[in-house]
Amino acid sequence: MSAFVVVELKVKDSAAKERYSAAAGPIIKKFGGEFLVSGAWEALAGETGLSHGAIIRFPNRVSALSWYQSDAYQSTLTDRSAGMECTFRLIGA
């Protein structure tokens, strides 16, 4: 069963976010991840302080956790922190 990483974000520094995205994308693919959608949220109920989001599908929870915990992905976190305020959530088996 697939696992999904749901990302909510607000851009703080466009250049840092672009560096993060350029580095993180190939790492996600290496672990079997696939971006299903990304862009601005449209809140249907409730309030959110984070304006954009993405949903990434992985083959399973183990693949998603292996990606997130990998040295390669962890090396992108400086640009991620500089580039955006964000939350990452994992759901699925």
What does pTM read for this prediction?
A: 0.91
Tokens encoding 10: 């607000």
Domains of the chain: residue spans and CATH: 3-41+51-92 (3.30.70.100)
Please report, for residues 45, 65, 89, the alpha-carbon distance to residue 56 in angstroms, rounded to integers and kept in the order given.
22, 12, 10
Query: What pLDDT digit, counting tens, does each position of 17-58 carry?
Result: 999 999 999 999 999 999 999 999 888 888 778 999 999 999
Tokens 């993180």 correspond to 24
User: Which H or E element spans position 21?
Assistant: helix 14-30
Query: What pLDDT digit, counting tens, does each position of 57-71 carry?
Result: 999 999 999 999 999
